[in-house]
Amino acid sequence: MEINERLTAYFEWFHMHPELSYEEFETTAKIKEILMEEGIDILPCDLETGLVAVVRGERPGPVRALRCDIDGLPIWEETGLPYVSLYEGRMHACGHDFHITAGIGCAVLLKERKQELAGTVKIIFQPAEESSLGALKILETGVMEDVDRIWGLHADPTNEAGTIGIREGYVTAAVDRFVVTVKGVGCHGAHPDDGIDPVPAAAAIVQGVQTIVSRNVNAFHPALVSVTRLEAGNTWNVIPETAVLEGTVRTMDRQDRVLAEKRVRELAESIARAYGAQAQTEWIAGPPAVYNDGGMVKVSIEAAKARGLKVVPEESSMGGDDFSFYEEKVPGCYIKVGTGKGQLIHQPGFMVDEKVILGTAEYLAELLCGE
């Protein structure tokens, strides 16, 4: 069977068998089975899910890496594809089935070119990207210790097949989460003067944190603060003791990230105090912003043009990706691969044009072999 047919079959299998973050046991076993059949070495790593393949060139050179994430999402699929997800309420709505398959294809093609390959390439099949913390599981194994640079890819349904989106600088945001608990004094709804109502205090905090971007962040710096959950009380005639609000902060500039946390805490505490209440803020830091190294961008563009691919400027996104955790160790480059225009990622109708699989694998092999 030709490589294109094999990759198509692999892709359809992964699409039909999506697994959620940290639960990718079947996916990991299938990747391992395929790699062994293709004669690709697998590194021993202390991982419950995910694995790392390696292709060693016959010429001396550096160690480079490619990250391919493997988890699916808790979304009901509505694509109508003949190879639709077999698991109700789960699908590969972010293209990770495509990432896995392109990574396998890259490994196979690099193995075929090992005589011209200088150095070593590690292909990281990473679990739990959707949790925003899966990359940390890979880093804990030490597999990145000898790597000098890393590439990542992502399906892009805003561009046609045969298109590569790439540019230097920040391309995704740092992702942080906050939970503010406002504590007052509960009482009868008919006698608010007997207590301290946390609800108006929480509402004022919601309004207050919106001023962080408009009044504290440089107007030329992308940033946002979104309160996405507000809960208080459980009946209509009782003023509750507590109110809880939760949200996310997205920034690209490192100093803006520090500033945003400081201001959320200050505003929550001071506004609550003004209402006679108290506020406690829990800050849950996620991955930093993804930054594309200039030298790697140049190499990636050259490799794309050598394959006859169309290169377009990569759009910035306030979404995040834990690929940035690798970039805290080594320079990185995160590339968007056009998979055919259609529904956006994380939507039930998202799908990948199968024609892009082999071409993407060939592009990645060209990139990692030629560096």
Q: What is the CATH number of the domain that holds 83?
A: 3.40.630.10
> Which of 263, 285, 307 is a domain's end point?
285
* Sign of the torsion formed by the C-alpha atoms of 309, 313, 317 and 321: positive
Which residue has tokens 């070119």? 113
* Block mean pLDDT (10 aa), the chain, length 371: 95 98 98 98 96 96 97 98 97 98 98 94 98 96 97 97 96 97 98 98 98 97 97 98 98 97 98 98 97 97 95 94 98 98 97 97 93 57
End-to-end CA distance of the chain: 30
Return the CATH number at 224: 3.30.70.360
Residue 194 pLDDT: 97
- Dihedral sign for Cα 121, 39, 161, 69, please: negative
pLDDT at 1: 78
The maximal CA–CA distance of the chain, rounded, in angstroms, is: 82
> Do residues 23 and 73 lie in contact, with contact meaning Cβ atoms separated by under 8 Å?
no
Same domain for 245 and 277: yes
119 and 75 belong to one structural domain: yes
- Whether residue 36 sits in one domain with residue 142: yes
Number of domains the chain contains: 2
Same domain, 263 and 317: no
Q: Which domain holds residue 295?
A: 3-172+289-370
Same domain assignment for residues 246 and 312 = no
pLDDT at res. 371? 57
114 in the same domain as 10: yes
